Amino acid sequence: MSKQDIVELVPKPRTKFIRVKCSGCGSEQTIFSAASTNVKCLACNQEMAKSGASKIQIRTKIISVYT
């Protein structure tokens, strides 16, 4: 068994946490890439991401992605 075979045995997660900035008020928020509900800004209640089949559709600026 080679080293490459061992690496393939450990699955990598398909989901991530994403840091986004609200386009309305400028506040930052961390959201989950597979959220099952629509994500709204905690400060101004503007929709930041819309839930889809398995991933979300981000409607604002992405600051960073945490793996």
Give the predicted TM-score (pTM) of the model.
0.76
pLDDT, mean of residues 5-16 = 76
pLDDT, mean of residues 40-61 = 92
Q: How far apart are CA 46 and CA 48, in angstroms?
A: 6
Q: Name the residue with higher pLDDT: 7 or 27.
A: 27
Q: Say if residues 7 and 45 touch (Cβ distance below 8 Å).
A: no
When pLDDT is cut at 50, 70 and 90, the band that residue 67 belongs to is confident
In order of 3, 24, 28, 43, the CA distances from 63 in angstroms are 35, 15, 9, 18
Domain ranges of the chain: 13-54+61-66
Burial of 19 (C-beta count, 10 Å sphere; 0-12/13-18/19+): middle
Between 3.50.50.60, 3.90.1150.10, 2.20.25.100, 1.10.10.10, what CATH number should domain 13-54+61-66 receive? Answer: 2.20.25.100
Q: How far apart are CA 37 and CA 15, in angstroms?
A: 15
